[in-house]
Amino acid sequence: MNLAELDLEKAANALMVLILGLAAAFGWNRAKRGPARPEEIVEVSAALVSDRSAREIIDALDRNTEALERNSETAEDMRDEIRDVTRSMSSLAVELARKR
The domain spans of the chain are: 51-99
Write down the pTM of the prediction.
0.43
- Percent of the chain predicted with pLDDT > 70: 71
Average pLDDT over residues 35-53: 63
Calculate Rg over the CA atoms of the chain. 35
Asked whether residue 47 carries a pLDDT value surpassing 90, the answer given is: no
Query: What's residue 44's pLDDT?
Result: 56
Query: What's residue 83's pLDDT?
Result: 96
What is the distance between the alpha carbons of residues 84 and 81, in angstroms, rounded to a whole number? Answer: 5
Which pLDDT band holds residue 76 (cuts at 50, 70, 90)? very high
Residues 6+ apart with CB under 8 A from 3: none
